[in-house]
Structures are given as structure tokens and as C-alpha cells.
Amino acid sequence: MTDGDSEHRAATSGAGRLFVVSAPSGAGKTTLCSAVRRHFGDLAYSVSYTTRTPRPGEQHGKDYFFITRQAFEAGIAQNRWAEWARVHGNLYGTSAQWIDETLATGKDILLDIDVQGARQMLARFPHAITIFICPPSMAALEARLAGRGTDDAATRALRLANAKEEMAQQDLYRHVVVNDDLERATRELIDLLTHYRAMPGTGRPRISP
């Protein structure tokens, strides 16, 4: 399937909608996306492919699809990934075929990916509905990361540096949700998806008569 085919399919009436959510580390994206998935029981959620070793308790096909580096690199050559990235020496990617087939059934998809991945997704699926989760301030983000107690000072500094770069690119996104209050941000995110899911077609806003 070509990129043109994907765009045509996305524009077809009745096709599913693709929601892409990104945020800097510590902004609460995972918590918010989990709440959205509980609210919308029919929302499809992409399981990424990765070359890293499974962590204790992780299940193949549920947490990730764990594949070899050779298989992943073959996927790059075959244009199988809608987006992919190298993170800490491991490869992560989202199946373009799965997205195409899922959207074609009329199901809506939620993708939880970083800014780099979102750019790749928009290049292939230009009608994706992009949402950026933003912390109320860098000071608040630093406090959240420190409160986790899971990273050393050097790691926190790296996460904050990356967060600044990601927040500088939030204009890439159609919507920005500030997570200054978890309950309010959850409601705003759910309301956004409810709004788009009530529309016909690909979620493009239509002017009411």
C-alpha cells in the first residue's frame, strides 16, 4: 500500500480516526491516555514493536511485540513502520499495516508516541488528530520528575532538556492540553475525543449550518 493509498483511505467516509498524543516525560501522558482508554472501551490502542529485551512481567503482543533487530531493520527497508525511532540503542516502531487495516474497519485509534514519531505519523497520515500534553511549567515538571524517585540527577537533567525541545515543537499539534490538574485535563482530553468522534469522516471540523 502506498502513502497515497493511506491518505485516500483516511479521507474515505466512515474510516476511523487516528488520535496522536505526545508529551514530555513526566507530563502525565500515560495516566491521561489510560483514562481515555477506560472511558472509550472501543478505542483501538497500538502496541509497538521493539528490539529490546522484555522486562519482567511484560507480555509479547500485549505490552510490545518483541522482535529481532534483523526483522526490525527489514521492516525499515520495506517501509513497514508508520513511525520508528532508536531509543537507548533499541529500535521502536508502529506498524503502518495495522493502522491502515484498523482505520479501514472504522475503528478509531489512540497512539501514545513522542514528538519525533508524531512528525513521521503526520507525513504518512496527514489527517491525524494531534494532541500535545503540556505541564503547567518547567518548574512543575522538574518537581514531578524529582517526586518519582526513579531517576538520578543526571537522568532528570536529560529528561528536562528533552522536555524543553519537545515543548518548543507543540505548534506541530492541533490541540494542547495543559495538565495542571489531572481531573480537569482528563475531562478536556475526553471531551476532545468525544467531539471528533461525533463527526462524520476523518474528524475534520465542519461548519454548522
CATH number of the domain to which 162 belongs: 3.40.50.300
Task: Give domain status of residue 208, yes or no.
Answer: no
- Cell representation of residue 109: 485509534
Range of the domain at 111: 3-197
Q: Among candidates 205, 203, 145, 138, which has minimal Cα distance to 167?
A: 138
Q: Each residue of 172-183: pLDDT tens digit? A: 999 999 999 999
- Residue 175 in any domain: the answer is yes
Is 173 domain-assigned? yes
C-alpha cell at 95: 506498524
Please report which confidence band the pLDDT of residue 28 belongs to, taking 50, 70 and 90 as the band edges: confident
The reported pLDDT for the residue numbered 201 is 63
List beta partners, residue 141: none
How many residues comprise the chain?
A: 209
Q: Is the pLDDT of residue 156 over 90?
A: no
Phi-psi region of 115 (alpha: psi -120 to 50; beta: other; left: phi over 0): alpha
pLDDT tens per residue, range 79-94: 999 999 988 789 999 9
pLDDT-derived band at 11, boundaries 50, 70, 90: very low
